Amino acid sequence: MSLINRRATAIYYDVEIFYCICKLNCRYTTVSKLLYAAPQKSKADLSWDVIHKFPIDWNRTIVLHRTMTMRRTKIICTTGPATESEESLRQLIGRGMDVCRLNMSHGTHEWHARQIRVVRALSQEQNRAVAIMLDIQGPKIRTSRVQGGSIVLRAGDDVTIQSSDIIGDACHIGVRYPLFAKEVSDGQTIMIDDGRIRMVVVSTDGGCVEAKVVVGGVLTDKRGVSVPEAHFSVPSVTEKDKKDISFGIEHNVDYIAVSFVRRASDISGVKQMIHEQEVDIPVIAKIETKKGLDNFPEILKVADGIMVARGDLGVEIPIEEVPITQKRLIAESNASGKPVITATQMLESMIHDAIPTRAEATDVANAILDGTDAIMLSGETTIGDYPIESLSMMDRIARTTESVGWRMHTDADADVTGLSIERSIGHAVCQLACNLNAAAIITTTYSGSTATVVSMYRPKTPIIAITPDEATFSRLALIWGVTPLRIPAVGTTDEAMDASVRSAMDAGFAKAGDRVVLTTGVPIFVSGTTNLITVRVVE
């Protein structure tokens, strides 16, 4: 039966036109306007254009409204000068920030420690799980500071690049890597600030590189430098990174993101450092180099999550390949059950403008339709003029996209034979919740793995993760569709399930008469023991 013949009702409250971002047979495009607001319109009147090809369950009412249902896709905000105040952080948490990212390329340990303290206090105050992600700099080569904070480089200018931390000007630029001049060659392209500024190496001499500007622009302090054709000998984890990792361990951060991952051993090395301190912090691999892309299958096996860092990746590979590469990385991460983050320049224009471009809105929506667990704001919330508005806009785009586009991973025709016990239970829970039209899926979990497995199947039903563990409570803030709730540890499985249902009711996810699907393990709150599914009618 053609989707165009199915019932579709669009209810509009305070806007006249909604734009839908539609997925057409695995191809993505911005399409059609929903111009028909009245439910009484006949099927023949509904001019869906190409939207009828969109794989959505049109049998359910679509409610497009600012206050629509909970957002499943998580939002990461990077904090910086624009959001360092307590009031700004309070607003970010109140408006829906799920993960606070600390960019260790900037700021002191004292500054980051204060951000951690404030975010955790506000998280407690607002009773919301907010994870802390420490993003280490990695082997990133950066320019030094420049006079006045910014200089203008024009196409055709001759520039001397010194392998030292000088104060740069329009004729001389410092690069904070002592071997830079020795490891680049004549004719190679130097890309600065994600390729916004481009130069060609004319000659090298000792500690200096003579270059000619090909694409000019404004250069500010400490911008990233990439030379795709060069092979730098900088270690994957620098001494600064090691100090930053120790800082993160000391402050019990929830995730550590590793930059410029080139091979699986880069992640294994960081994990070893963490385990030597007798702690367990999930490690996110940032894919932003050609080498990392080539070795992605091996990296995915050892990483706890993936970040598609499109800025540097778009310098390392042809920019026209970035969209397809993003979709591939997200799809493979989804299949492995690892959370995946889409990052860089998502609402870049909102650094200075109050609204994003239409292309940026489409970019955010497409990442969600691709299956990303989280979407990230960087400059928008670190140095932008509209940090709170950027978060609100991303939240609105996500909610609207989720309301019309849902990629279910519980297809009845899917081959689910040979799964682990945990994945089999996760799949069964989602299918059962769908069949019963359950109000919630409730998982009692100590490590968070059960909730994460359920999440990978992308159920429409809200996933409520009940845990007594503070670290698990925070970490689950990153996982798609999961709302973590805390309860004290209890003695028996029955007591835990009773307490879990009460918590879900108190949080507004279930009411008397609703069906809920619960999954837990015996013994209760022991990692790796998930072996029980039950259905309850809430009383």
Catalytic residue positions, numbered: 101, 142, 286, 344
Scanning the structure block, which residue is given the tokens 């919740």?
A: 433
Report the distance separating Cα 85 and Cα 115, nearest Å.
9
- Using an 8 Å Cβ cutoff, are 40 and 11 in contact? no
Helix, coil or strand: residue 245: helix
331: left (phi over 0), alpha (psi -120 to 50) or beta: alpha
Backbone phi, psi, residue 470, to 5°: -65, -40
525: left (phi over 0), alpha (psi -120 to 50) or beta: left
Report the distance separating Cα 101 and Cα 131, nearest Å.
8
- Using an 8 Å Cβ cutoff, are 160 and 210 in contact? yes
Q: Which amino acid is at 472?
A: T
Q: Which amino acid is at 127?
A: N
Q: Which helix (H) or strand (E) holds 161?
A: strand 158-162
Tokens read off for 438: 């359950």
Q: Read off the DSSP letter of residue 70.
A: P
Backbone phi, psi, residue 531, to 5°: -155, 15
Taking the C-alpha atoms of 177, 182, 186 and 189 in order, what is their torsion angle to the nearest 10 degrees?
Answer: -20
Report the distance separating Cα 461 and Cα 480, nearest Å.
12
Backbone phi, psi, residue 463, to 5°: -105, 120
- Using an 8 Å Cβ cutoff, are 133 and 76 in contact? yes
Q: In terms of C-beta distances under 8 Å and separation of at least 24 residues, what long-range contacts does 124-129 make, across chains too? A: 125/90, 126/90, 126/93, 126/94, 128/93, 129/98, 129/473, 129/474, 129/476, 129/477, 129/483, 129/484
Report the distance separating Cα 156 and Cα 65, nearest Å.
51
